[in-house]
Chain A
Amino acid sequence: MLDQRPAATLAERAAGLTPPAVAKGVRGLSDRAIAWLFIAPTLALLLAINIFPLIWTIRLSFTNYRANPPNAPLKWLGLERYSDLLTDPDIWHGMQVTARFVVSTVAIETLLGFALAYLVDRKFRGHGFWTTVILIPMMLSPAVVGNFWTFLYQPQIGLFNYVVGFALGIDPSSFQMIGDVRLAPWSIVIVDVWMWTPYVMLICLAEAAEVDRASKWRQFWSITLPMAMPFIMLAVLFRGIENFKMFDMVNLLTNGGPGSTTELASITLKREAFEKWTTGYSSAFAVILFVTIFGLANIYVKALNRVRQR
């Protein structure tokens, strides 16, 4: 079309082709330059603090390097390192403990959180206030709060034992949440459920705003639940990823004990990397965790985009 106007000079033609935004930008910086100027610092920081160390980790994962003492002779182990790792029963034990922790916490949090959202959506008087109250635990520091739960779980003097003992009519000093092999896994599940059920509730409430009171039972199965599904998936995936890498609360509450009954993958990794200083070995373990999380994050972002497009 433009070419059919013989009078147009080259400059005029160029101006006609350029969107007004770019034409204006020429006076300062071009849009392309601004885009890169704005994005590059973030990418540079992430390259320096995430990608460069990641490459370093991958390199170390093929060696027997020890960070402490640092000057031991270095040996290249190659893929042997990974085959060792994948047949190490300690690693598999850590993975199993993690899997049990993730499945039980996410299942309970999803059920409770969804139920709470359903109840809050009855919109009784003051529901906004009580929602905010319920949300408080999830914003707190898991480490600081986890540390205080060791006090609540004390067999004789702890409030948790006292209340449970009182409710069940048993002696509060007859059971130990943290010290008992059977109860310790539940001790971390309880704290996690206490902290993160509000998270699932909040996400499910977003969906409730759309469905708007489909209160009949039949409608619950045919409308409410299917519409809530993408949001529930989002919550499940995010909680799954977060608990797969859980460290702070458990490190302070049980530190993996008693024995290794609550030793999650992150706790095993901490022991190997920062207590036994087997840096090469733990780097290989870290790489395996990276790959797993990267895969999960990929699925999570797909779920995010699906929710966003609604």
Chain B
Amino acid sequence: MTGNAAAHSIVEPGRLAKRIAATLVILYALVSMVPLLWIVLTGFKTPPDSISYPPKILFEPSLEGYVNLFTTRTRQTPGFIATLPPPQSWYDRLVRSRNMVIAGPSKYVPRFINSLAIGFGSTFLAVLLGTLTAYGFSRFKVPLKDDLLFFILSTRMMPPIAVAIPIYLMYRELGLTDTKLGMILLYTAVNVSLAVWLLKGFIDEIPREYEEAAMIDGYTRLQAFRMVVLPQAATGIAATAIFCLIFAWNEYAFAVLLTSGEAQTTPPFIPFIIGEGGQDWPAVAAGTTLFLIPIVAFTVLLRKHLLRGITFGAVRR
């Protein structure tokens, strides 16, 4: 006890100690940001600039990466290009200056839309099921409660490749391979375990007295759940939803094994953004930048709840 008392006596770290700590932490933060900064910069380079030696920090920014990301192009002879009507837009002009002609849109936008549809669809279902189940576990005596909760969590810990083998066979039988519905169901199943554990933590924190008071006032249990518990849990539900969305957005293993076209999401698609002779790095970087921006924004929004999210609601602060 005396030890604890000593620990809690406020010993302000000295000014020098603070300054050293600040320097080291900021140094780490800056170094860890370099790869991300490089992704953003590479997105604004021309292909020759992106592979120059030494690596270029200062360069003339270009939107070629973004144009290449959104289009497919064919190489043509200058003679053929001269016979075409004059370019209609700045990106037409840019592509033609590389002796290419735009053949059509790329698949980046459809893949991005798939990511959105599958992400939001599975998040909605996981949070819906998770909220109900968390409330059930939080408020009622359920037989084998701890075992059921452990079972629910353990499903999330399974290696995706091992799970993918039977899912692949099952989906092939059911015709769910490479469908958005199949991916939404699968991601819902993975996310619902996180949702149950996180939301149970949030709902446990809402005093039961609130509902009991409402029920004494004549609400039924279901009405009390809807009118009292749900509004109180709104922040927790929002934080849980963002965690589910991030998981579905980032997921790669199931996506690469179970989708190939129709329902393919962005992560398995990005490595296949190729130009002439390998990956088109400015276009890959542009696609990566657009893909990562929402997650960076969400991380900043979520910062107060991150700890809960990554420990399944066990550690609160």
Give residues in A with beta carbon < 8 Å to B: 20-21, 24-25, 27-29, 31-32, 34-39, 41-43, 45-46, 48-50, 52-54, 56-57, 60, 67, 116, 119-120, 122-127, 130-145, 147-149, 151-152, 154, 156-159, 162, 172, 194, 198-199, 202-203, 205-206, 209, 211-216, 219, 222-224, 231, 234, 238, 241, 244-245, 247-248, 251-252, 265-266, 269-270, 273-274, 279, 282-283, 285-287, 289-290, 293-294, 296-298, 300-301, 304-305, 307-308
B295 with A139: CB separation less than 8 A: yes
B189 with A289: CB separation less than 8 A: no
Majority secondary structure of chain B interface residues (helix, strand, loop or mixed) = helix
Q: Complex formed: what's the CA distance from A36 to B151 in Å?
A: 16
Instruction: Decide yes or no: A119 and B21 within 8 Å by CB, A38-B135, A286-B165 being known contacts.
Output: yes
B153 with A301: CB separation less than 8 A: yes
Q: Return the chain B residue nearest A28 by Cβ.
A: B220
Instruction: Decide yes or no: A122 and B22 within 8 Å by CB, A144-B291, A215-B13 being known contacts.
Output: yes
Q: Complex formed: what's the CA distance from A194 to B36 in Å?
A: 11
- Minimum Cβ distance to chain B for residue A193 (Å): 10
B311 with A234: CB separation less than 8 A: yes
Please indicate the chain A residues that have their CB under 8 angstroms from the CB of B267 in the complex: 141, 143-144, 248
Instruction: Decide yes or no: A119 and B153 within 8 Å by CB, A162-B54, A206-B317, A304-B312 being known contacts.
Output: no
A290 with B253: CB separation less than 8 A: no
Tell me which of B65-73, B76-84, B167-175, B230-238 binds A: B167-175
Q: Complex formed: what's the CA distance from A50 to B164 in Å?
A: 10
B39 within 8 A of A: yes
Instruction: Decide yes or no: A134 and B29 within 8 Å by CB, A148-B284, A214-B7, A247-B159 being known contacts.
Output: yes
Majority secondary structure of chain A interface residues (helix, strand, loop or mixed) = helix
A39 with B133: CB separation less than 8 A: yes
Within 8 A of A (CB), among B101-124: none
Q: Complex formed: what's the CA distance from A120 to B161 in Å?
A: 37
Instruction: Decide yes or no: A50 and B10 within 8 Å by CB, A134-B29, A151-B279 being known contacts.
Output: no
B303 with A122: CB separation less than 8 A: no
Please indicate the chain B residues that have their CB under 8 angstroms from the CB of A140 in the complex: 250, 292, 295-296
B239 within 8 A of A: no
Can you list 5 A-B pairs, Cβ within 8 angstroms, ordered by A? A123-B18, A144-B252, A266-B161, A289-B159, A300-B157
B34 with A308: CB separation less than 8 A: no
B11 with A213: CB separation less than 8 A: yes
Q: Return the chain A residue nearest B287 by Cβ.
A: A144
Produce 1/0 per residue, B128-143, CB < 8 A to A. 0110110111011110
Q: Return the chain B residue nearest A129 by Cβ.
A: B29
- Minimum Cβ distance to chain A for residue B30 (Å): 8
- Minimum Cβ distance to chain B for residue A249 (Å): 9
Give which listed residue, B28, B150, B186, contacts A49 with CB less than 8 A.
Answer: B186
B58 within 8 A of A: no
- Minimum Cβ distance to chain B for residue A154 (Å): 8
- Minimum Cβ distance to chain A for residue B295 (Å): 5
Instruction: Decide yes or no: A148 and B3 within 8 Å by CB, A41-B132, A248-B252, A269-B159 being known contacts.
Output: no
Q: Complex formed: what's the CA distance from A41 to B223 in Å?
A: 20
Q: Complex formed: what's the CA distance from A179 to B253 in Å?
A: 23
Produce 1/0 per residue, B278-317, CB < 8 A to A. 0101001100100110011011100100110011101101
Please indicate the chain A residues that have their CB under 8 angstroms from the CB of B62 in the complex: none
B227 within 8 A of A: no
Please indicate the chain B residues that have their CB under 8 angstroms from the CB of A297 in the complex: 150, 153-154, 157
A304 with B162: CB separation less than 8 A: no
B295 with A32: CB separation less than 8 A: no
A127 with B22: CB separation less than 8 A: yes
Q: Return the chain A residue nearest B170 by Cβ.
A: A53
A50 with B252: CB separation less than 8 A: no
Please indicate the chain A residues that have their CB under 8 angstroms from the CB of B133 in the complex: 38-39, 41-42
Please indicate the chain B residues that have their CB under 8 angstroms from the CB of A57 in the complex: 162, 165-166
- Minimum Cβ distance to chain A for residue B119 (Å): 12
B303 with A132: CB separation less than 8 A: yes
Please indicate the chain B residues that have their CB under 8 angstroms from the CB of A53 in the complex: 163, 166-167, 169-170
B188 within 8 A of A: yes
Produce 1/0 per residue, B1-40, CB < 8 A to A. 0011011101111000111011011101100111110110
B196 within 8 A of A: yes
A293 with B158: CB separation less than 8 A: yes
Give which listed residue, A123, A172, A212, A282, contacts B8 with CB less than 8 A.
Answer: A212
Having A42-B192, A49-B167, A60-B166, one finds 17 other A-B pairs with CB under 8 Å, namely A24-B215, A35-B140, A42-B129, A53-B169, A60-B165, A122-B22, A124-B22, A125-B22, A127-B22, A135-B299, A145-B288, A151-B281, A157-B52, A202-B310, A219-B3, A234-B311, A248-B267
